[in-house]
Amino acid sequence: MPVERLREIIETRVHNPDAIAEAAAKRVKAASPVGENGKAMIIAADHTARGALRSGDRPMAMADRADLLDRLCTALSRPGVTGVLATADILDDLLLLGVLDGKSVYGSMNRGGLAGASWEMDDRFTGYDAEAIKRMGFDGGKMLLRVDYSDDRTVPTIEACAKAVNELNEAGVMAMVEPFISHRSNGAVRNDLSPDAVATSVAIASGLGRSSARTWLKVPVVAEMERVMAASTLPALLLGGDISADPEATFARWGAALKLPTVKGLAVGRSLLYPADDDVVSAVDTAVGLL
């Protein structure tokens, strides 16, 4: 990210903040949530608002906003990338940079369950709401739904997600739900990635709201994906998670899961933005090739 371009963003925020809404109004929208091959390739970058800055062995990898924006711009420029998922601060920067034309844009909604916090399971909606997503001309909203059967703070999160699904459906845009069955282990929230747990989370998320017409799921790639994805008829995107020690094996698992009928693409962040060799172009192109 050239220093001059970064200065332009900052000065625009200071002297002409309305330029963000103007850029959103002028943005050329994507014709479809999927690309020409019938699959979506979405770059996810909403981790920072939840205080999750780690990527692989770099604990503060995502703390440098200029570097993150540079990586995002590189990823979004690659053929086959169809969209981006992020919080308002990042999407506003990308609008000012003019890199969202023709892309699907999804606003991240609940980021209040800060990583490592005692209240982490009470995942408040502190980001976008359905009204703002519609006003900005975006294509949908994404919510994280972690279900801990032993933590009462799960209940308000489930209720808030159901409300968000209703509001997004009424706004005519996608409701993207990322569900997990979770639990506390040594004070930290851990997601259960067993096939039974992921299938259960898929079933729970599928039943949220008054209508599932515009609900998509965002799910991890685990063992027995055919059985896991049989739990719902809703379209699903595969999430990437943290950087793998064996990226080739990860890509192979993604490729196999992408053959399932309900799996309609990838929504991947750190694995592509911060690959072990820092070659964003190669990582993104490899992922696109799986589609």
Q: What pLDDT is attached to residue 28?
A: 98
Q: Tell me the domain boundaries of the chain.
A: 3-289
Q: What pLDDT is attached to residue 245?
A: 75
Q: What pLDDT is attached to residue 265?
A: 98
| Percent of the chain's residues with pLDDT above 70 | 100
DSSP calls for the chain: --HHHHHHHHHHHHH-TTHHHHHHHHPPPPS-SS-TTS-EEEEEE-SGGGT---BTTBTTGGG-HHHHHHHHHHHHTSTT--EEEE-HHHHHHHHHHT--TT-EEEEE----S-TT-TTTTS----S--HHHHHHTT-SEEEEEEEE-TT-TTHHHHHHHHHHHHHHHHHHTSEEEEEEEEEEEETTEEEE--SHHHHHHHHHHHHT-SS--TTEEEEE---TTHHHHHTT--S-EEEE--SPPS-HHHHHHHHHHHTTSTTEEEEEE-HHHHS-TT--HHHHHHHHHHT-
CATH superfamily entry for domain 3-289: Aldolase class I (3.20.20.70)
pLDDT exceeds cutoff 90 at 246: no
* Interatomic CA distance for residues 110 and 165, integer angstroms: 12
pLDDT exceeds cutoff 80 at 109: yes
pLDDT digits (tens, 9 = 90+) for 86-104: 999 999 999 999 999 999 9
Q: What pLDDT is attached to residue 2?
A: 85
Q: What pLDDT is attached to residue 49?
A: 97
Determine the average pLDDT of the residues in 194-213: 98
Q: What pLDDT is attached to residue 230?
A: 98
Q: What pLDDT is attached to residue 76?
A: 98
pLDDT exceeds cutoff 90 at 242: no
Determine the average pLDDT of the residues in 197-218: 98
Residues across the chain? 291
Q: What pLDDT is attached to residue 241?
A: 78
pLDDT digits (tens, 9 = 90+) for 13-67: 999 999 999 999 999 999 999 999 999 999 999 999 999 999 988 999 999 999 9
Determine the average pLDDT of the residues in 160-175: 98
Reported as a pLDDT band with limits 50, 70 and 90, residue 137 is: very high
Q: What pLDDT is attached to residue 260?
A: 98
pLDDT digits (tens, 9 = 90+) for 262-272: 999 999 999 99
pLDDT digits (tens, 9 = 90+) for 116-134: 999 999 999 999 999 999 9
Phi, psi of 45, deg, nearest 5: -150, 50
Q: What pLDDT is attached to residue 247?
A: 86
* Interatomic CA distance for residues 177 and 147, integer angstroms: 12
